[in-house]
Structure formats: structure tokens, C-alpha cells
Homo-oligomer: A and B are copies of this chain.
Amino acid sequence: MLIPKNSLRVGASVGALLLATMVPAFAQEAEAVAEAVETVAAGSGVSEETAYVFNTFLFLVCGFLVMWMAAGFCMLEAGLVRSRNAATICLKNISLYSVAGLMFWLIGYNLMYGVEEGGYLGTFSMWSAGGDPSAADGYAAGSDWFFQMVFCATTASIVSGTLAERIKLWPFLIFTAVLTGIIYPIQGSWEWGAGWLDAEFGFSDFAGSTLVHSTGGWAALMGAIVLGARSGKYTVDGKSNAMPGSSLPLATLGTFILWLGWFGFNGGSQLALGSVVDANDISNIFINTNIAAAAGVVSAMVLTQILYGKVDLTMALNGAIGGLVSITAEPLAPSIPLAAAIGAVGGILVVIFVPLLDRLRIDDVVGAISAHLVCGIWGTMVVPLSNGDATFYGQGVGVVAIGAFVSIVSLVLWLVLKFTIGIRVSAEAERGGLDQSELGLVAYPEFVK
């Protein structure tokens, strides 16, 4: 029976009109029906398939923004290391992004999202391409996979900066492979895979202050402890020697890239665009993300001006990152003033913790532990101020559990690497620069004095 689409519609209307005039007695019942129809119509303002496309496109657009953060970390770190190590840090950054993508595909994704509700880890099975295209989730499985993959890579990016200028290339990449294939996915499964932290403690981490940034920070901290400081960084009487970065404009560029990418990081974590509510929420996330970063810059500038009489550019840059990390656990619920305050404290924490770590002789070349780990904890603990579903207790459990797990596994792994293949270049290689010893080339062959 062939029924042209238009005749159906028209026919229906005709039927309606006729009946509406023919059978006035049914008017009351008609009103009840009208309301029901109204409801249906309002709910279908964005059709399921249209929402599917919106949600998928959100993942792809935000995903490419987060992918771009890999370049941001690369430029930030290339600018903050000395020129003799700049090519090596570039190689580490592009290769860690590559390794992260491959490992997350090989085992990470299923380990993270194959977890049972309330469980402790997913399955060890290789991911099959594309997923179910007609998934009832309301988005293309592949777009979600892409978005989650770039998050995994971000975690690895955090580590490279801290350990720059002294770690060997291949051991670093082995650590990266384990971090992105196993460590990150397991702890991620506890919360974003709907595992025990989510199910039992109501732990809340919207876009990953803890799951991404603290995780990277803990892994970096353990690496810094096992690896030791750069030679000459700390004098015997406890002083810290400045080892200024080779290109502050590149470091600034990297920070701007990270800031840009963070709109994807936090905005995409809404996980849906296909409704008025989602569109409103993502807009507010953009505002809060931006205001927290701005407040982090200003607070770091003001504090360094007060403490040192001068503003330090690298502190302002890390202030931006600190503000961004701080708002990442809950970029949606806070009012704008609260978001500004959360970010401002992030900027202050960076200014306090960078010299503090130096006093502890923990050598973090780019300040990543302060910006990502410390601000990640701060951002996570402050969620209950604006999000009624989170509790300080639950947040604390999450911070401690993930911190303990990531730290212990990372520590063991760093130690194993240290006492097997070794993780540190020779003192001579360090003096001459890793570009020469590890790569056999020079980042800026014509520039250096």
C-alpha cells in the first residue's frame, strides 16, 4: 500500500478539521489530547537523529580541540627547556601522543569503559572498529572513542614536561605506553566507566581535574622523585639554580593553545549538544572555563608582583593552566564569581607550589606538578561548593584512591625501568643536551651562543 508522505499529512489534517467541526461533543477529551500532543511535540523539538548528529559533531569538534592541546604541551615544554633539549622534548610530545592513541585503542578503551557498574576495571580485549553505529546512546560510538582517546593522550602530555632534560626517550615511551594503556584507563573506569567511585561514593569529576590532570601529575611526581633533579639544579646548601627556558614566546603560544583546547576539554565533557539544555550548559562551561583561566593569570601576576616586585611570565602562564585545571572538575555548576574565585586560587597555588617543590628538591622543569596535580586536587575538592550531588567525603575518597593507585603503580614502574634499562641519560649527555645524545641533532643549529 503506497501512501505519499504529503497526502498522509494533508489527509490527517482534513480528517481532523472535519471531525473537529462534526463532533463538538468530544471537545473536552480533545483538550486532554491536545496537551499530550503538545508535550510530544515539545520533546521532539530536536529529533533523535538530529540530536545524534549534534552530539557526534560536538565530540568531533571538541575532540580536535583537545588533540590540539598536544601541540600546546609541546610548545609550552619546548619553550621552557633549554635549547639543547628542545628537539628531544618535541619528539617526546609527538611520539607520546602517537603511543597514547595506539595503546588506548589496543587495550585502554575496553579496560576503561568495559567495566561493570561499581566495578574496579574493565576487560582486556581489543577494541573493535567503530562500535555499533545505531547505538541507542545518541551519538556515534566512534566520536566518543575519539574524544576519550585525546583525553588519555592529555594525561601523558603532563608527564613529559616535568621529566624533561634528563630522561631517556625510550624508557619514557614505555612508561607512556603503560600509563595510557593501563594506569589511566583503570582509574578512569572507577568514575567515568561508572565503576565503584561513581557508584558508591558519588565522586564527581566533570572533565578530569583528578582523572586526567592529577593522574598525570602523580605520574610525573613519582618520575621526578625516581629520576632525580637535573645536575646543577640544586646546590648543596639547598639553593635552586634557575635554568631559564629557551623561548618564552613558544611557551606563551603553548599556553594559548592549551587555553583554546580547554574549551573542547570542558565543553565536550557535557557529552551532548542536541538539546536546548545542553546548548545552554556548554555555553556556561565556556564562560566559566575562560573566566577561571583569566582569574588564574591575574592572581598569579598580582601575587608575584607582591612577592617578588616583578611579574613573572612563566608564573602567569602556569596561572592560566592552574586556573583551567581548577575549574575542570566542575565547570558547569559554579556561578561566574565562584568560577573566577576557583581559578584565582589555582593561580595562587601555582605561585606557592613551584618554589615549594624546589625547596623539596623535586625538579619539575615546567611546573606541571603544581599546575596539574595541586590545582587538580583543589578543583576536585571544591566541587561540593556548587554541585549538591558531590560531598567533600566522596571527593576526598576519589582524590586519595586515584592518587594512591596512580602513585604506587607509577612508582613501581619507574623503579623497574630504572633498575632494568635505566631511565636517565649520562651526566655527560645531560651536559651536552639530549638533542645531541638521544637524537644526534640540534634544535636550533644556528642560534645558540
Contact = CB atoms under 8 A, between A and B. Distances in A.
Given A16-B8, A16-B13, A256-B74, A143 B317 contact: no
B438 A56 contact: no
* Interface majority SS (helix, strand, loop, mixed), chain A: helix
Query: Which of A45, A245, A313 has the most chain B CB within a 10 Å cutoff?
Result: A313
A90 B18 contact: no
A358 interface: no
A98 B53 contact: no
B16 A20 contact: no
A57 B48 CA distance: 18
A310 B169 CA distance: 10
Interface in A108-154: 127, 129-130, 133-134, 139-143, 145-146, 149
A13 B14 contact: no
A53 B279 contact: yes
Interface string A255-285: 1110110011001000001111111101110
A36 interface: yes
Nearest to A298: B98
Given A1-B36, A75-B249, A95-B297, 4 more contacts: A5-B40, A16-B16, A18-B23, A74-B252
18 contacts: A1-B33, A3-B33, A8-B37, A11-B16, A54-B57, A79-B249, A86-B249, A94-B252, A98-B320, A99-B298, A129-B284, A134-B276, A140-B279, A143-B279, A247-B444, A248-B441, A312-B441, A313-B439
